[in-house]
């Protein structure tokens, strides 16, 4: 069966989605990711969707799920590289993916993850209240 | 029986062309400031030739016949180029109508039997009327194209995205914000965010005359889309009247960073990317 | 008046067919010169509707048509299934309503993404949904 590879980089997990997603594939990714978060005790998940040309409500939900599930396992999720057309479509669809952190590219996404994690270590305050949605 | 009119048109096309050209001259249809005599002659000759070539007994009464496609193409071409060059509708219409006059005149010279002449003239009449309608339709279409192009240009001009600092974009919106305009604003802004790698976008609405629930919705959409790209969005230029309407209409802008002026938005943006603006004279450290 | 310029059809029986449909729609949309954003909106809407088709009717057929109205060209997709049909269309079109385990954005979201949206459904016979996206719409 098709699977999207998940790379482990230190405390982070890195996923680059290079193929067109269908529902089953997205669901597999969701369960694989949470398994990996637990296995490696990861602190951050970075999902690169720069090659994804379509995100509909199902895949939007999966992204939200991953973010929330990781959060309760104490890992931050950042989605990076969303294409402009995809962003406009998601907003028009009525799915602005609130509560998911986004960054322009992998580099910025890594910075964001690092800043969130060091912040967590410095003080256990909630970084952003909107995260908990 | 072979059709008289078709035979005559095929045989006499040179003569018809002369007649037609004469008519065009008399009709003031010849605008030497817009098209040269020579060009017009070539155009007319091409049309007559293909008319004579395509007309036959079978398609004479059926202007929708495929045989006339070439003529329709030529006519559309003529009408569109005339619309763009600034001919009046009358001048363009006269082009085909004067051909009709030439054809009818030739027929009346050639056909002696009044009954035959009458029926053939009627048929020529209806065929040519249809051709002139094509001319008119395409003429208007040509004009509409000009208008559409201008509309596009206006929208293009009125939504510039300006890079005000490394990592900070500003987008002054002038005029009303409807859904198609929002679409363009979003596309331009997001594209520019990708190209410049900016992390902050300032949407300045000083030039938006009024805000209602729909406009507010468009603004919120733009902010949401910007966030999905991984950039933050600040809305600036909130005038007192706009603040009042926003509250009266119960629009919720609490998720959005709003500032009264572009200057304070820029200051906030500097703060967000950890920059400081200082007066040079006071800093004697260096 | 809407004129159909070209026709194509994709039959949907399993999830992977969704990708085939997306690619086919993209091909046609590119052919008429539709911009990337509008293409994405159309394909996303198609994706939502195909999911419903698979979920509730176990598949069906999607007709792809290139249509023209006046000076505007567009792509029309017609989703035909022989599933259980929809009991209350008004309710199904409401944001957040779902009979399955989803966000309930499928139908209303798809409608927001296209220019024209028509739905016909007969209980126990099937559902036909037609969506149109104009090139510059």
- Contact residues on chain B for C37, CB-CB shorter than 8 A: 183, 187
- Residue B221 CB burial class (10 angstroms; 0-12, 13-18, ≥19): buried
Nearest to B228 among A97, A105, A130 (CB): A97
- Contact residues on chain C for B141, CB-CB shorter than 8 A: 71
Strand order in A76-80's β-sheet? A6-9, A12-16, A44-48, A76-80, A101-103
Interface chains of chain C (3 or more CB pairs under 8 Å): A, B
Determine whether domain B4-153 maps to CATH 3.90.1580.10: no
Q: Which CATH architecture has domain B162-272?
A: 2-Layer Sandwich (3.30)
Residues of chain B with pLDDT below 50 are: 1
Nearest CA in chain C to B190: C37
What span, in angstroms and rounded, lies between the C-alpha atoms of B282 and B204?
31
What span, in angstroms and rounded, lies between the C-alpha atoms of B149 and B165?
33
Name the minimum distance, in Å, from the CA of C127 to any CA of chain B. 30
Q: How many residues does chain B have?
A: 286
ipTM of the complex: 0.86
- The CA R_g of chain C, rounded to the nearest whole Å, is 14
Secondary structure of chain C as H, E, C letters: CEEEEEEEEEEECCCCHHHHHHHHHHHHHHHCCCCHHHHHHHHHHHHHHHHHHHHHHCCEEEEEEEEEECCEEEEEEEEEECCCCCCCHHHHCCCCCCCCCCCCCHHHHHHHHCCEEEEEEECCCEEEEEEEEECCC
Residue C102: the pLDDT is 67
Contact between A102 and B199 using a beta-carbon 8 Å cutoff: no
For the segment B244-277, what is each residue's pLDDT rounded down to a tens digit?
Answer: 988 998 888 888 999 999 999 999 999 998 888 8
Selected residues 185-224 of chain B with any CB under 8 Å from a CB in chain A: 186-187, 190-191, 193-194, 197, 199, 221, 224
Nearest CA in chain B to C71: B141
What span, in angstroms and rounded, lies between the C-alpha atoms of B36 and B15?
21
Strand order in B162-165's β-sheet? B162-165, B168-174, B200-207, B232-236, B257-258
What span, in angstroms and rounded, lies between the C-alpha atoms of B37 and C19?
59
pLDDT tens across the length of chain A (133 residues): 678 899 999 899 999 998 888 888 899 999 999 999 999 999 999 999 999 999 988 999 999 999 999 999 999 999 999 999 999 999 999 888 888 999 999 999 999 999 988 766 655 544 444 444 3
Q: Where are the domains of chain B?
A: 4-153, 162-272
Stretch (H or E) spanning B133:
helix B114-157
CB-based contact, C39 to chain A, within 8 Å: yes
What span, in angstroms and rounded, lies between the C-alpha atoms of B179 and B158?
15
Contact between C37 and B187 using a beta-carbon 8 Å cutoff: yes
Contact between A102 and B197 using a beta-carbon 8 Å cutoff: no
Residue C21, pLDDT > 80, answer yes
Q: CA torsion sign, B190 to B195 to B199 to B205?
A: negative
Asked if residue B226 lies in contact with residue A91, where contact means CB atoms within 8 angstroms, the answer is no
Nearest CA in chain B to C41: B183
Nearest CA in chain C to A94: C109
Asked if residue B203 lies in contact with residue B222, where contact means CB atoms within 8 angstroms, the answer is yes
CATH number at residue C36: 3.30.565.10
What span, in angstroms and rounded, lies between the C-alpha atoms of B232 and A130?
14
Asked if residue B149 lies in contact with residue B80, where contact means CB atoms within 8 angstroms, the answer is no
Contact between A54 and C43 using a beta-carbon 8 Å cutoff: yes
Nearest to B229 among A92, A104, A130 (CB): A104
Residue B83: the pLDDT is 78
Name the minimum distance, in Å, from the CA of A90 to any CA of chain C. 9
CATH class held by domain A6-132: alpha beta
What span, in angstroms and rounded, lies between the C-alpha atoms of C37 and B182?
13
Asked if residue A103 lies in contact with residue A80, where contact means CB atoms within 8 angstroms, the answer is yes
CB-based contact, A1 to chain C, within 8 Å: no
CB-based contact, A61 to chain B, within 8 Å: no
What interhelical angle do C106-113 and A84-93 show, nearest 10?
A: 120
CB-based contact, C94 to chain A, within 8 Å: no
pLDDT confidence band for C103 (50 / 70 / 90): low
What span, in angstroms and rounded, lies between the C-alpha atoms of B173 and B27?
50
Highest average pLDDT, of B29-33, C66-70, C74-78, comes from C74-78
Name the minimum distance, in Å, from the CA of B39 to any CA of chain A. 47
For the segment C8-19, what is each residue's pLDDT rounded down to a tens digit?
Answer: 889 999 888 999
Asked if residue A17 lies in contact with residue A4, where contact means CB atoms within 8 angstroms, the answer is yes
CB-hemisphere CA count at 13 Å for B73?
8
CB-based contact, A5 to chain B, within 8 Å: no
Nearest to A87 among B183, B229, B255 (CB): B229
CB-based contact, A33 to chain C, within 8 Å: no
CB-based contact, A87 to chain B, within 8 Å: yes
What span, in angstroms and rounded, lies between the C-alpha atoms of C116 and C119?
10
């Amino acid at each position: 069966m098709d699977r999207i590879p998940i790379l482990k980089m230190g405390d982070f997990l890195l996923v680059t989605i290079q193929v067109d997603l269908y529902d089953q594939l997205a669901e597999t990714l969701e369960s694989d990711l949470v398994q990996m978060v637990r296995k490696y005790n990861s602190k951050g998940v970075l999902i690169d969707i720069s090659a994804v040309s379509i995100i509909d409500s199902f895949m939007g939900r999966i992204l939200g799920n991953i973010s929330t599930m990781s959060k309760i396992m104490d890992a931050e999720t950042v989605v990076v590289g969303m294409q402009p057309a995809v962003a406009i479509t998601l907003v028009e669809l009525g799915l602005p993916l609130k509560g998911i952190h986004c960054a322009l590219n992998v580099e910025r996404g890594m910075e964001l993850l690092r800043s969130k994690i060091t912040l967590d270590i410095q003080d256990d305050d909630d970084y952003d209240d909107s995260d908990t949605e | 029986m072979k059709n008289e009119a078709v035979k005559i048109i095929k045989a006499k096309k040179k003569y018809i062309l002369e007649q037609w050209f004469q008519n065009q001259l008399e009709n003031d249809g010849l605008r030497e400031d817009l098209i040269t005599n020579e060009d017009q002659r070539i155009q007319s000759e091409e049309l007559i030739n293909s008319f004579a070539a395509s007309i036959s007994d079978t398609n004479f009464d059926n202007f929708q016949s495929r045989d006339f496609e070439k003529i329709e193409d030529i006519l559309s071409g003529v009408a569109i180029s005339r619309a763009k060059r600034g001919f009046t509708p009358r001048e363009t219409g006269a082009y085909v109508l004067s051909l009709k006059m030439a054809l009818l005149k030739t027929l009346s010279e050639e056909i002696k039997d009044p009954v035959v002449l009458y029926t053939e003239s009627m048929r020529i009449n209806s065929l040519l009327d249809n051709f002139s309608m094509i001319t008119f339709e395409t003429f208007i279409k040509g004009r509409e194209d000009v208008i559409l192009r201008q509309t596009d240009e206006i929208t293009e001009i009125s939504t510039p995205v300006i890079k005000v600092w490394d990592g900070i974009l500003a987008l002054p919106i002038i005029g009303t914000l409807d859904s198609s305009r929002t679409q363009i604003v979003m596309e331009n802004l997001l594209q520019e965010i990708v190209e410049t790698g900016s992390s902050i976008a300032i949407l300045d609405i000083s030039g938006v005359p009024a805000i209602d629930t729909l406009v507010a919705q468009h603004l919120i959409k733009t902010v949401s889309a910007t966030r999905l790209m991984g950039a933050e969005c600040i809305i600036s230029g909130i005038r007192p009247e706009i603040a009042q309407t926003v509250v009266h209409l119960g629009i919720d802008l609490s998720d959005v960073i709003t500032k009264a002026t572009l200057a304070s938005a820029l200051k906030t943006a500097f703060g967000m990317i950890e920059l400081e603006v200082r007066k040079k004279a006071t800093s004697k450290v260096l | 008046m809407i004129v159909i310029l070209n026709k194509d059809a994709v039959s949907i029986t399993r999830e992977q067919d969704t990708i085939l449909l997306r690619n086919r729609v993209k091909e046609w949309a590119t052919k008429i010169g539709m911009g990337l954003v509008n293409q994405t909106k159309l394909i996303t809407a198609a994706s939502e509707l195909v999911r419903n088709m698979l979920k509730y009717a176990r598949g069906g057929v999607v007709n792809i048509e290139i249509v023209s109205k006046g000076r505007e060209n567009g792509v029309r997709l017609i989703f035909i299934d022989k599933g259980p049909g929809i009991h209350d269309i008004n309710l199904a079109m409401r944001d957040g309503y779902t009979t399955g385990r989803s966000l309930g954005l499928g139908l209303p979201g798809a409608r927001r993404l296209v220019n024209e949206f028509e739905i016909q459904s007969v209980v126990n016979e099937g559902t036909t949904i037609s969506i149109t996206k104009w090139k510059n719409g």
